[in-house]
């Protein structure tokens, strides 16, 4: 399956993507994770992305689209993928449409995670991520690790993302409303959008998402 996951910052895209990608045996491709990996490795790409991310703004399309194309061209994405955080504006959505058209394939669904803004703010404020693997995501109260500050999965150190400050979250939400939400209409016109509530337990949201994806197949 070829799926795009969309939703505001902190909606639980990364958390759900880890389970959905496993259930569907497709790679989870997160542009946010790719940028963060480049930053921690000190690459040129990471240096270009850092200031935009710290400010909560989008990294320029030129850089982002090239990185996403490169990742998707890797063989494990051939039979499907779960895109998390890409596309994030209409320009990127059009670039993805062209990319897929060129390969003679189509998206199967755009899964839209709906969460009220006050919940998103609480989720982001308590989020902790593993230094070894950014798919190991915790929350200080909703999904607390057994030992404070230590990843349950691999024992790595948990940290708070640089862009998870109150001010940056406000900017990220504004960017989401003005630049990312219009892609939902773009995909609605292609009949691809499936909206689900992302409230409730992580497992409940995964079940809801799997059910909705089955119906859209
Ligand atoms: P990115 O990394 O994509 O961040 P985001 O979209 O802001 O999304 P988040 O990672 O904040 O949240 P999430 O929805 O994955 O939630 P999570 O599962 O962690 O992008 C970061 C930056 O990179 C951007 O601002 C931009 O600068 C740049 N960038 C990335 N892609 C780009 C692109 N295409 N173009 C240009 N720039 C780009 O969950 C949040 C918390 O809630 C966790 O603590 C989790 O444990 C908890 N939680 C999850 N589910 C539940 C639940 N059901 N109940 C209770 N708690 C829950
Ligand atoms: Zn870990």
Q: For residue 138, which atom of ligand 1 is closest to its CA?
A: 46
pLDDT of residue 79: 81
Q: Is 176 in the pocket of ligand 1 (CB under 6 A)?
A: no
Query: How confident is the model over 87-104, as pLDDT tens digits?
Result: 999 999 999 999 999 989
pTM for the structure as a whole: 0.95
Q: For residue 129, which atom of ligand 1 is closest to its CA?
A: 44
For the chain, strand residue ranges (E) read: 2-6, 28-30, 81-84, 109-114, 127-130, 137-139, 158-159, 193-197
Q: Is 27 in the pocket of ligand 1 (CB under 6 A)?
A: no
- The domain ranges of the chain are 2-115+165-216
Q: Is 160 in the pocket of ligand 1 (CB under 6 A)?
A: no
pLDDT of residue 78: 73
Q: For residue 32, which atom of ligand 1 is closest to its CA?
A: 2
**Nearest alpha carbon to residue 127 among 8, 15, 7, 30:** 15
Closest ligand to 153 CA? 2
Distance 104 CA to ligand 1 centre (A): 30
Q: Which residues pair with 113 in a beta bridge?
A: 196
From 20-29, 46-55, 71-80, 133-142, the region with the lowest mean pLDDT:
71-80
Closest ligand to 8 CA? 1
Cα 120 from chain centre: 14
Q: Dump the DSSP string for 55-89.
A: HTPPPPHHHHHHHHHHHHTSGGGTT-EEEES---S
Note whether 196 and 111 are within 8 A (CB): yes
CA geometry: angle 94, 96, 101, nearest 5 deg: 95
Rounded Cα distance, 103 and 140, in Å: 43
Note whether 120 and 9 are within 8 A (CB): yes
Q: Which CATH number fits domain 2-115+165-216: 3.30.470.20, 2.30.40.10, 3.40.50.300, 3.30.300.30?
A: 3.40.50.300
């Amino acid at each position: 399956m070829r799926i795009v996951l969309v939703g505001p910052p902190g909606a639980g895209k990364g958390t759900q993507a880890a389970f959905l990608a496993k259930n569907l045996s497709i790679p989870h491709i997160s542009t946010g994770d790719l940028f963060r990996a480049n930053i921690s490795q000190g690459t040129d790409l990471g240096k270009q992305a850092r200031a935009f991310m710290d400010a909560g703004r989008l990294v320029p399309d030129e850089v982002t689209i090239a990185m996403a194309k490169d990742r998707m061209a890797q063989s494990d994405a051939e039979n499907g993928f779960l895109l998390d955080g890409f596309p994030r504006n209409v320009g990127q959505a059009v670039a993805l449409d062209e990319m897929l058209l060129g390969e003679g394939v189509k998206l199967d669904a755009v899964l839209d995670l709906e969460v009220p803004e006050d919940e998103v703010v609480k989720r982001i404020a308590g989020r902790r991520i593993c230094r070894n693997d950014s798919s190991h995501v915790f929350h200080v109260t909703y999904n607390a690790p057994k030992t404070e500050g230590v990843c349950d999965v691999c024992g790595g150190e948990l940290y708070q993302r640089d862009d998870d400050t109150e001010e940056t979250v406000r900017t990220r939400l504004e960017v989401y409303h003005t630049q990312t939400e219009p892609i939902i209409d773009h995909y609605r016109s292609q009949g691809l959008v499936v909206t689900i509530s992302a409230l409730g337990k992580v497992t409940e949201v995964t079940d809801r998402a799997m059910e909705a994806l089955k119906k859209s197949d």
